[in-house]
Structure 1
Amino acid sequence: MIVHWHRRDLRPSDNRGLARAAGDGPVVPLFVLDPTVLEHASPIRVACLLEALDDLRTWYRERGSDLLVVRGEASAVVPEVATEYDARRVVWNEDYSGLAAERDRAVRAALEDADVTCESIHDAIHHEPGSITPNQGTHYAVFSYFWKKWRDREKRDPADEPDPGDLATVSGDPIPSLADLGFDDPEATPPTVTTAAARERVAAFCSGPIYDYAARRDYPAESGTSRLSPHLKWGTVGPRELYAATERAAQRAETDDDRESVRAFQRQLAWREFYAHVLAFNPETVTENFSGYENEIEWQNDPAELEAWQTGETGYPIVDAGMRQLLAEGWMHNRVRMLVASFLTKDLLTDWRAGYDWFRAKLADHDTANDVGGWQWAGSTGTDAQPYFRVFNPMKQGREYDPDGEYIREYVPELADATADEIHSWHELEPAERERVAPAYPAPIVDHAERRKRAIDLFERARGE
């Protein structure tokens, strides 16, 4: 017997660790609900996890096996399962956060004590950390250099799913509910996170929208993005399967612009991998500035302003639309993610970690590497970060990327009857005019121009300039 320990690879196909185990099977499939990991979870993410587990369990049961879903510390549970099924090896796919690395070290030690061998496989990304490097150092800190090597590096083909004969005949206990695990129902409606849903989304995106991705991805009122992030988070689609689908789309492209648009999407996949490499070598960046000037930044951290940002009550329409979309859907358009992050760190002068914590609690697709990288980019403290003197103007961004106010009206109903010009000029309207247009919507809580200047001064002091 070989145990395959599923973690963030909740799929049977294009799963390199599972395929490796199946080659020496029969495979005992295992997932561990580890309380140490669940301490860092949130209701919406656990809801997605449980759905993905149920879907994966169904796949195993249809083939005469089962997914063992066991609660307990992984360092205790994994050796126990291996011993129970007389497994000679445990296989899992690598994760790259500090928490995962700490957990895996403990499991390795416990398996060694139990005289069971283990093997970890690089599966969640194409190229393992340390394989794309500059001439000096362990990883790139500038994405453009990483991208040049990533795009030209050969990608593996998708791994085959196991045959039914490769799977052990086992039977597991029922999967616990949210309540069983101590979580309330999520405020937002979780997305469907199954392999079938992932494949449907990949097929739909690569059949048409991918050719408009470069031109339309920044417009939140449109369906210009893939919406695959929850599936990449939970591994209900494999990275090689997704990349292969984009390569087939590139081969079908009718124009050079179409092919460049496919390349633009692949570039975003490379960004995710870039941040995974950075986190693997710098796990402390979950709580510390990558740039190093940790105690020099004089964050204001006003609790009332943070709450206004969290609830979508800042008086800046596109910021509020994004924050309310997050609360309603557990997801936010990527362009708007950058805007709300810039607004928190530069306009409200609030530590990026407060924003990261809120996203971690509310996003269905929260990914440690991607979110830490994105927040430190917006906060001008990370790798290849937004220069501190470039501060997004939320009103200008709203006018450029939601010119008709369609996205804003969807999530900020107080502005449903306002014209596009009234929405995008909200900061300039007189109080009486705001009262006439949208009496229930707040005035801007800060002056953008004044806060922009303060933010630049703050960073220049921190940098000793």
Structure 2
Amino acid sequence: MQLYWHRSDLRGVDNRGLAEAASAVSPDLLPDADGIIPVFIFDDNALEHDGNARVQYMLESIAELRSWYRDRDSDLLIARGDPVSILPELASTHDVDRVVWNREYSGFAQSRDQQVADALTEHDIAHCSVRDSIFFEPGSITTNKGEPYSVYTYFWKKWRDREKNAPIDAPDADMFVPDEGIGDSLPTIDSLGFEEPTADIQPAGTNAARNRLSDFCADGIYRYDDDRDYPSRDAVSRLSADLSFGTIGVRDVHAATVAAAEVDGITDAEAESVEEFQSQLAWREFYTHVLYFNPEVVTENYKSYENGIQWRDDPAALQAWKDGETGYPIVDAGMRQLKSEAYMHNRLRMIVASFLTKDLLIDWREGYGHFRQYLADHNIANNNGGWQWAASTGTDAQPYFRIFNPMTQGERYDPDAEYIKQYVPELREVPADTIHEWHELSPTERARLDTDYPAPIVDHSKQREKALEMFETARGDA
């Protein structure tokens, strides 16, 4: 008997760990004496790092996964507690020969999984972990000196050129242990200590993920290179939450992009656009490798010489940023999208992160924590990597002297203010040109527009100079 432990791989298809469990099942002993028992454990220690939207997305994905097993006359065993004690107990109760799971790469996950492995060993229960969420294990793409890359471009070139695993089918239905009442009911979000999110979250689960992938590869992927930075152009995949929870496999996603690049009649520009999207898969993997080798970056700057930065403690400004009330329209639109959809367009993530760290001069960790609380697609490696990139404290980060001008960003990437007006209703009757000049308007001019939208809480030009001084002092350049 094989016990398969689901975590951030909430699917049956293209699941390498589940396939590994099936590989040890003896067809001659089916259906009663052998098979796979799938389990999901609600780990309170892991849940401490989640927010309402993410837990809701997880519950919906688990419910669909359970239905998938039930369609195969099996069930998903549900437990709650510490996997270190629960897994050996389940293995003993069900006479399990081996426990299998897919690897995760954060410091928390590495520590937990080692403790689980040690506990299983103490009980003489075999165990196996499998690479699934990334194509290449940390340490397998290195510099010529054998060191992990800290510059993405070099990592990407090797990642791009290496052969990648193809998607794999789900195990046959008869590989799973028949449903004999092993599955407890799913907990409610309230019982897990969370609240029903107010955000309008996109549909969760494998079916929705596959539909998103199909729609994207039919259209948006061919415009991705040109349109991905424009939030109103609908040229992004919206697969970030699906990849974070593993409701779709990265091999399935990559294979779909390869097929899109091979469609007859596409232009060279469209083929390049497909490759640009593939490079985003490499970014996810790059940040996973960075996190694996530097687990401390969740709370510490990647660049140690940036530890001298004197971030401002300004609760009022931080709250204005969280509420989308900074008086910078593109920033506020992004922050309001986060609250209303548990999602934010990637260009906006960069803009709002730059504004927090370079205009408000507030510690990136405040932003990371806010995103973790509200994003359905929160992923430790990517959320942390993105924040440290924007704050100029991370690996291959934005240079500290390149500071986004929020008004210029709005004018460039939302020229007609379509995105801004969608999320900042106070400005829907205001002409786009006026919106992009909001920081230059006098109080009288703003009042004449008869809107409740606030004036800018800081002067970008002045804050830019303060940011440069702050970083140069920390670096010893001043």
With the length of structure 1 as denominator, give the TM-score of the two structures. 0.99
Kindly indicate whether residue 262 of structure 2 is the aligned counterpart of residue 251 of structure 1.
Answer: yes
Output the CA distance in 2 between the equivalents of 1:27 and 1:336: 43
Kindly indicate whether residue 26 of structure 2 is the aligned counterpart of residue 5 of structure 1.
Answer: no
How many aligned residue pairs are there?
A: 465
Q: Which amino acid aligns with 1:154?
A: E
State the 1:135 CA deviation: 1.8
Output the CA distance in 2 between the equivalents of 1:437 and 1:135: 61
Aligned equivalent of 1:200 = 211
CA deviation vs aligned residue, 1:397-448 (integer Å, no higher than 9, x gap) = 0000000011000100010110011100000001011111243000000000
State the 1:182 CA deviation: 1.4
State the 1:64 CA deviation: 1.1
State the 1:212 CA deviation: 0.5
SS at match of 2:274: helix
1:177 to 185, 188, 201: 188
Kindly indicate whether residue 18 of structure 2 is the aligned counterpart of residue 18 of structure 1.
Answer: yes
2:44 to 26, 31, 35: 35
Kindly indicate whether residue 88 of structure 2 is the aligned counterpart of residue 79 of structure 1.
Answer: yes
Kindly indicate whether residue 374 of structure 2 is the aligned counterpart of residue 362 of structure 1.
Answer: yes
Kindly indicate whether residue 147 of structure 2 is the aligned counterpart of residue 138 of structure 1.
Answer: yes
State the 1:264 CA deviation: 0.5
State the 1:294 CA deviation: 5.0
Kindly indicate whether residue 425 of structure 2 is the aligned counterpart of residue 416 of structure 1.
Answer: no
Output the CA distance in 2 between the equivalents of 1:202 and 1:42: 25
State the 1:458 CA deviation: 0.5
- Cα distance change of structure 1 residues 415 and 71 upon mapping to structure 2, 3 Å threshold: same
1:241 to 252, 276, 280: 252
Output the CA distance in 1 between the equivalents of 2:79 and 2:448: 58
CA deviation vs aligned residue, 1:342-398 (integer Å, no higher than 9, x gap) = 000000000000000000000000000000000000000000000000000000000
Output the CA distance in 1 between the equivalents of 2:316 and 2:77: 46
Aligned equivalent of 1:372 = 384
Output the CA distance in 2 between the equivalents of 1:115 and 1:190: 43
2:77 to 60, 63, 68: 68
Aligned equivalent of 1:47 = 56
Kept in 2, the 8 Å contact 1:23–1:166? The answer is no
Please say which of residues 9-18 and 97-106 is displaced more in the overlay. 97-106
Matches for 1:283-302 after TM superposition, within 5 Å: 283-302=295-314
Kept in 2, the 8 Å contact 1:301–1:348? The answer is no
Q: Which amino acid aligns with 1:42?
A: G
Kept in 2, the 8 Å contact 1:291–1:383? The answer is yes
Kindly indicate whether residue 175 of structure 2 is the aligned counterpart of residue 166 of structure 1.
Answer: yes
SS at match of 1:120: strand
Output the CA distance in 2 between the equivalents of 1:214 and 1:277: 25
Unaligned runs of 5+ in 1: none
Aligned equivalent of 2:30 = none
Kept in 1, the 8 Å contact 2:221–2:274? The answer is yes
With the length of structure 2 as denominator, give the TM-score of the two structures. 0.96
State the 1:180 CA deviation: 1.3
Q: Which amino acid aligns with 1:397?
A: Q
Kept in 1, the 8 Å contact 2:301–2:307? The answer is no
Percent identical among aligned pairs is 57
Kept in 2, the 8 Å contact 1:414–1:438? The answer is no
SS at match of 1:90: strand
State the 1:137 CA deviation: 4.8
1:217 to 211, 228, 231: 228
- Runs (4+) of structure 1 moved beyond 2 Å? none
Kept in 1, the 8 Å contact 2:141–2:159? The answer is yes
Unaligned runs of 5+ in 2: 26-34
Q: Which amino acid aligns with 2:210?
A: R
Aligned equivalent of 2:129 = 120
Output the CA distance in 2 between the equivalents of 1:89 and 1:357: 37
SS at match of 1:5: strand
Matches for 1:437-456 after TM superposition, within 5 Å: 437-456=449-468
Aligned equivalent of 1:150 = 159
Aligned equivalent of 2:322 = 310
